Chain A
Amino acid sequence: SQTIHQWPATLVQPVGSPLSLECTVEGTSNPNLYWYRQAAGRGLQLLFYSVGIGQISSEVPQNLSASRPQDRQFILSSKKLLLSDSGFYLCAWSRPEYTSINTEAFFGQGTRLTVV
């Protein structure tokens, strides 16, 4: 069966510090991968998605970047955190589009980031 791992669960970082959140998927190949952010009391905002190694698409301009060094690994990074980067970050995966026409997305448990 497929599983998605996201860590850490919570993180408190000072303004100006770097950030690295990691997400890995097991039990599948060539997944589509996504990073979402949820600010307090707000909906889920899609930040990045990737259809393959080294292929990253950004949905919104921001202080963050994403990388996919391996097929099932997705990393969210920042060189210098801002207060506005605080939020609940969720990684998700779905099967590659050529394998299925109705593929749901599976979400990790999220990382709650507080920038102080």
Chain B
Amino acid sequence: DAKTTQPPSMDCAEGRAANLPCNHSTISGNEYVYWYRQIHSQGPQYIIHGLKNNETNEMASLIITEDRKSSTLILPHATLRDTAVYYCIVRVVPGSGNTGKLIFGQGTTLQVKP
């Protein structure tokens, strides 16, 4: 079962920042937070991941609360091509005696509007 909670849908105006929240109140110390997105009829695409520090890459920023019970994915300037389902996943660190497999929840459908 997925161990994260996300709103089912969100809207964002084109050019504005999209802030996608995720609750993972039962996260363990050896679990990372991963974000993927799935554009319609395609395979999921990795976005970003983090443990406890905030992370930024060319696609997005990830803000993790100090208690690690929630996080926010930020797309700084959303475009129409960012319309997709965004999945927040907690994943056990590989090497802990498991495969680090990804368990997906229902995700958040982000609709970027012109």
Which residues of chain A have a CB within 8 Å of any CB of chain B?
32, 34, 36, 42-46, 49, 51, 57, 88, 90, 92, 94, 97-98, 100-110, 112
Chain A residues whose C-beta falls within 8 Å of the C-beta of B105 in the assembled complex? 43
Contact A101 B95 (CB under 8 A): yes
Give Cα distance in the complex from A111 to B71, angstroms: 32
Tally A-B pairs: CB < 8 A.
68
Contact A101 B104 (CB under 8 A): no
Give Cα distance in the complex from A107 to B11, angstroms: 26
Contact B43 A92 (CB under 8 A): yes
Q: B106 in the interface, Cβ–Cβ < 8 Å?
A: yes
Mask: chain B, 1-25; 1 = CB below 8 Å from A; 0 = not: 0100000000000000000000000
Could you pull out 23 A-B pairs where Cβ atoms are within 8 angstroms?
A43-B87, A43-B106, A44-B104, A45-B104, A46-B103, A49-B101, A57-B99, A90-B43, A90-B44, A94-B100, A97-B98, A97-B100, A101-B93, A102-B32, A103-B94, A104-B34, A105-B46, A105-B102, A107-B44, A107-B45, A109-B43, A110-B41, A110-B43
Ranked 9 nearest A-B pairs via Cβ: A107-B43, A97-B94, A44-B104, A104-B46, A97-B95, A43-B106, A107-B44, A43-B104, A32-B99
Q: Please, how many residues of chain B have a CB less than 8 angstroms from a CB on the other chain?
A: 25
Which residues of chain B have a CB within 8 Å of any CB of chain A?
2, 32, 34, 38, 41-46, 49, 87, 93-95, 98-107
Chain B residues whose C-beta falls within 8 Å of the C-beta of A90 in the assembled complex? 43-44
Q: How far is the CB of B61 from chain A (nearest CB, A)?
A: 17
Most B Cβ at <10 Å: residue of A36, A43, A103: A43
A101 and B46 in contact, given A34-B101, A43-B106, A94-B100 (Cβ under 8 angstroms): no
Query: A34-B101, A46-B103 known; 14 other A-B pairs, CB under 8 Å?
Result: A32-B100, A34-B102, A36-B104, A43-B104, A43-B106, A46-B101, A49-B101, A88-B41, A94-B100, A97-B95, A101-B95, A102-B49, A102-B94, A107-B44
Give Cα distance in the complex from A90 to B42, angstroms: 9
